[in-house]
């Protein structure tokens, strides 16, 4: 693996999960070591590299210095006489945000930080815990394929050193879909990796992507994913609706007709089928991504399953006209929850947008699709 060049200041990667909005973002690696998924444009054209443990520790030292400074400011209710000298980068801004957010969680960036040698990860985690003993949670993204290559002993050591949550981009457990989108992993590896993480005592989030199988594999995507999740029983199931930014390989597949996309309504139908088939689990389902349609769809299995099914059926039972109003309202930020449709003022405002832009049943899909691109 390529080692990072000399430290040039605190670094921040491009993304974090929605649940990490208040976390310290600490970059361990840059970009994605796989970078082949056809639905993902995030790191395309960017070279993967690791950062040295010394560079990461230097970032941590910067945050420690600045958070100590902000804490002292709070204690004396003013600015201390001497501000730390910043060595460049984003440390002061990042530290200030984290300080004001309570310094409870840390997110390790970028796409698959578990790919570094376990000994290096353990050294970083121990240093973080030493500098910030009050931190409740340290989280990382990881690929199932990478987790499968880590021994149970190493994963247990990583857990003991302080990594207590992993987000896996499962996306689908339909082998045909995984192959088509070049995810580089199969259903069984997803299951093995998920179970391994839980066995190590690390909290597990699995991301499911409705729509990624297109129309052809929508049913397989729902049923195989539900089956895999039933076998894993992750702590969290997170929904991340497929969105297609320009320039990614899956758009080419769509344009040349080898990928047939599901619209918002079909994606809810797929999600309903998936959720109906979740059984014997105790996971908490979250639907908090901005691209998702029904943010009120959330809850714990098994007790909240009927209520989650009811939310999706409520949407699917709306008239085509009301479905269109909700889709446009959600994508323009004017409506959030289904119950907002009962608010006549809000509903009229969306109808105004529909009239103004000539939106109808034949172009609503294309228009909503373009609106979604703002959030990808």
**Binding interface with ligand SF4 (CB under 6 A):** 32, 34-35, 37, 40, 42-43, 111, 143, 169
CB of 170 to ligand SF4, least distance (A): 11
Between 51 and 64, whose beta carbon lies closer to ligand SF4?
A: 51
Residue whose token pair is 């990490």: 20
CB of 110 to ligand SF4, least distance (A): 8
Between 34 and 301, whose beta carbon lies closer to ligand SF4?
A: 34
DSSP SS3 for 167: strand
Length of the chain: 376
CB of 183 to ligand SF4, least distance (A): 7
Helix (H) or strand (E) holding 348: helix 344-356
Between 125 and 242, whose beta carbon lies closer to ligand SF4?
A: 242
Give the span between the Cα atoms of 64 and 124, in whole angstroms. 14
CB of 175 to ligand SF4, least distance (A): 16
Q: Which residues of 162-199 are buried (b: 16+ CB within 10 A; e: fewer)?
A: bbbbbbbbbbbbbbebbebbbbbbbbebbbbbbbbbbe
Helix (H) or strand (E) holding 68: helix 53-76
Between 181 and 359, whose beta carbon lies closer to ligand SF4?
A: 181
Between 250 and 268, whose beta carbon lies closer to ligand SF4?
A: 250
CB of 34 to ligand SF4, least distance (A): 4
Q: 28 is written with which tokens?
A: 């361990």
CB of 163 to ligand SF4, least distance (A): 18
CB of 14 to ligand SF4, least distance (A): 10
Between 69 and 141, whose beta carbon lies closer to ligand SF4?
A: 141
Torsion of CA 17, 18, 23, 24, to 10 degrees: 50
Q: Work out the angle at residue 254's Cα, subtended by the Cα atoms of residues 250 and 260, and round it to the nearest 5 degrees.
A: 110
Closest residue by Cα to residue 82 from 96, 72, 93: 72
Distances (CA, A) of 337 to 15, 16, 288, 319, 331: 26, 24, 12, 16, 12
Between 183 and 298, whose beta carbon lies closer to ligand SF4?
A: 183
Q: 199 is written with which tokens?
A: 């066995």
**Which DSSP string corresponds to 251-283?**
HHHHHTTSS----HHHHHHHHHHHHHT--S--P
């Amino acid at each position: 693996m390529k080692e990072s060049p000399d430290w040039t200041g605190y670094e921040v990667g491009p993304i974090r999960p929605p649940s990490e909005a208040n976390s310290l973002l600490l970059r361990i690696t840059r970009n994605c070591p796989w970078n082949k998924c056809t639905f993902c444009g995030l790191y395309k054209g960017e070279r993967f590299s690791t950062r040295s443990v010394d560079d990461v520790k230097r970032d941590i030292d910067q945050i420690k210095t600045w958070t100590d400074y902000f804490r002292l400011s709070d204690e004396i209710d003013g600015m201390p006489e001497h501000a730390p000298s910043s060595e460049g980068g984003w440390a002061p801004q990042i530290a200030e945000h984290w300080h004001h957010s309570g310094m409870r969680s840390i997110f390790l960036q970028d796409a698959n930080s578990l790919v570094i040698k376990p000994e290096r990860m353990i050294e970083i985690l121990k240093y973080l815990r030493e500098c910030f003993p009050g931190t409740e949670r340290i989280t990382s993204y990881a690929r199932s394929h990478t987790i499968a290559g880590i021994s149970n002993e190493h994963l247990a050591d990583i857990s003991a050193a302080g990594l207590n949550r992993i987000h896996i981009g499962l996306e689908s457990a339909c082998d045909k879909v995984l192959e088509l989108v070049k995810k580089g992993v199969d259903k069984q590896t997803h299951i093995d990796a998920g179970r391994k993480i839980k066995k190590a005592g690390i909290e597990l989030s699995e991301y499911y992507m409705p729509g990624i199988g297109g129309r052809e594999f929508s049913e397989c995507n729902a049923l195989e994913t539900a089956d895999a999740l039933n076998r894993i029983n992750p702590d969290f199931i997170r929904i991340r609706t497929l969105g297609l930014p320009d320039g990614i390989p899956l758009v080419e597949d769509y344009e040349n007709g080898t990928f047939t996309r599901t619209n918002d309504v079909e994606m809810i139908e797929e999600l309903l089928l998936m959720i109906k088939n979740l059984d014997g689990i105790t996971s908490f389902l979250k639907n908090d991504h901005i691209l998702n349609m029904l943010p009120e769809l959330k809850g714990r299995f098994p007790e909240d399953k009927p209520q989650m099914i009811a939310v999706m059926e409520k949407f699917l039972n709306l008239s085509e006209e009301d479905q269109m109003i909700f889709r446009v309202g959600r994508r323009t930020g004017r409506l959030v929850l289904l119950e907002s449709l009962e608010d006549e003022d809000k509903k009229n405002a969306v109808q105004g947008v529909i009239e103004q832009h000539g939106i109808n049943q034949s172009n609503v899909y294309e228009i909503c699709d373009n609106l979604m691109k703002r959030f990808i």
